[in-house]
Structure 1
Amino acid sequence: MSGLHSLTTVDYASICKYDPTNIHVCFRYLQQVIYFLVPYEPQLNTTSITASINEANQRLESMNIQFMIYTKQNATAALELLTIIIFDPSDPGFKFFAWTYLIDWIFGYREVISFRGDNGNLTLLTDYQLPLAQQVVPSEITTNLVRYSRAGIIYIAFMMLALSFVLVGYMIVTKGEFEGYNMFQLDQVGGIVWVGRPSSNCLLAKWYVGPKPTSPVRSLLLSHGARYHFTHTSRITKGVYYLDRASAALNDIITFRYGAYMYAFDIKLWRMFSSPQLRYIGDEADFIDRKINASYPLTK
């Protein structure tokens, strides 16, 4: 396409004058290019190939791709914007180098950018740009994302399983004195206070849809989930709200008895509370005693 395929028309001097610093090397590499093309000369000189080459040159010439530079003609001259057409039909000697620039454009080492303004247009070829070599961010690698997701799933599953064992332990210790319905709130209450956001995004959306629920309990030690999802009607005695120990664990409160006191460690607040064991005298005293001994009193 640059004319080197026609051995009889190669003008080494007109080509190499554009590479003055390597003029002797220029003659050698032009000869090497010609020797490489010798076996393909019959195919390159066919009518169809010649027509395709001429069409390609005409299209490139019509694009008017240029080099641009801001410079001064001399030390006292004003700064000027100078351009030169790369595929100039009046300068066939530069066509070889013009096509090397085009190859850079094809392989992405250069770009052709067109600027259109009120006083004319400029279609420019950029400088040579080496590919940017940059390490991939480890967190953006698909396999690493899968590992993070897997670790999150394992963490959630382990926490929920461990919480389930804790609840079973409290059920055994309290000899069945717990609010059974509350145990079905393992995900809605325990999942939020023990695991956090990973298991509760859909539940948060659920809370904000529809009318605001009501609760007879206003204790600050109860999470919002426990306040609105736990059963409270049978837990209030003499104006005091008694939270069974299994439900307390579900609410992030670990309870244990020592001597005549019941101690409660609130993991959310990182504080310890204590309450003496109480007994009521009257109707259903035995039932009340069992419920109180298996519960921790909270303000209503």
Structure 2
Amino acid sequence: MLTQDFAQYCRAGVWYVTFLMLAVSALACVYMVATRGIFEGLNMLELSRVGGIVWVGRPLLFLRSMTALCLLSTATFELQTSGYRSYFAAVPTPWYKIALAAGEVTWLVSVVNDVALIVTKEYSMYYTTANSILVWLIVATLAGAFPVEATVSLHPTCVLAQVDFQAVCNSGTIAIGQRDRLLLLSGIVVGCNIICFGVVRVYMERPKTRVRSLLLSSGAKFLFAHHNRIVQDVYYLDRASAALAGIITYRQGRRMFMLDVKLWRLFSTPLSLGNKSNSMLDSALPLCNPK
């Protein structure tokens, strides 16, 4: 059946995203240890919005979020038995499953935020976290307070497939999903993004973009914390954050080698001897940051 095959593809995609994100997290932890804890902690909170977009990509993140939206738009209907009779019963979804599924919807928030960067730009750092929390709360509350209800309609019909040999009968139809709920949840994600950006746009001043390195994605430029990391037109990115941004680094002596998985190109750059006294700069990846 097409629906069963599609569900298996979705499950495989969810597992792939899970293992890949665990691998990216482990890689970032390796760099945290290698640099003796010298990294930008706030950047690690952008694992899904930066690391997910760079390493996994929007299509698979969209697929993962759609599985959560489908689950939240579907009622649980089980066949139960009591004595000598069998019957269908609607089973309420536990609150913790609702919370987890609502959290998975935030993957779609990350995709929408990334697509909207072309408009939101510097304002993104002010509202993306609040946007994700707001969507999670609204979706969880909606799914918990107004769960999807299954509908059953009985209208027995029989058709003779072969005269005097085979009859095909249908007792009725069972609908466990609601398309309107799926569209509503999708609208909530997009609507919250527009509202949060509008509020920030009105009440916050637009910050200046100081990071212009061509090796960073838009998410890394506008969502990472860049405090005190630009010295003489050189941007010093900590290696754990570089891993989230798709740059794998290897240090050998006073030279840093890096593989950019976005471009699949290998680069190397010398490390300045003048930064030996500054552990934050000496352990970081120097990137050209033209004005």
TM, length-normalised to structure 2: 0.50
The equivalent of 2:223 in structure 1 is 229
Give runs of ≥4 in structure 1 deviating > 6 Å: none
The equivalent of 2:283 in structure 1 is 294
Question: Contact 1:179–1:244 at 8 Å: present in 2 too?
Answer: yes
Identity %: 46
TM alignment of 1:150-299, pairs within 5 A: 150-197=11-58, 198-199=60-61, 201-207=108-114, 208=116, 211-213=120-122, 214-280=208-274, 286=277, 288=278, 290-299=279-288
**Structure 2 gaps, min length 5:** 62-106, 123-207
Determine which structure has more spread, i.e. the larger CA radius of gyration: 1
Q: Give, in angstroms, the shift of residue 141 of structure 1.
A: 1.8
Residue type of the alignment partner of 2:14: I
The higher relative CO (CA closer than 8 Å, separation ≥ 6) is in 2
Question: Contact 1:264–1:273 at 8 Å: present in 2 too?
Answer: yes
Deviations 1:66-111 (A, max 9, x none): xxxxxxxxxxxxxxxxxxxxxxxxxxxxxxxxxxxxxxxxxxxxxx
| Aligned-partner SS, 1:232 | coil
| Aligned-partner SS, 2:273 | coil
Q: 1: CA distance between counterparts of 2:229 and 2:243?
A: 16
TM, length-normalised to structure 1: 0.49
TM alignment of 1:58-207, pairs within 5 A: 141-197=2-58, 198-199=60-61, 201-207=108-114
**Structure 1 gaps, min length 5:** 1-139
Root-mean-square deviation (CA, aligned residues, Å) is 1.9
Question: Contact 2:237–2:284 at 8 Å: present in 1 too?
Answer: yes
Work out the number of aligned pairs and report it. Answer: 156
| Aligned-partner SS, 2:235 | strand
Question: Contact 2:254–2:272 at 8 Å: present in 1 too?
Answer: no
Question: Contact 1:178–1:294 at 8 Å: present in 2 too?
Answer: no
Q: Greater helix percent: which structure?
A: 2
Q: 2: CA distance between counterparts of 1:249 and 1:143?
A: 37
Question: Contact 2:254–2:271 at 8 Å: present in 1 too?
Answer: yes
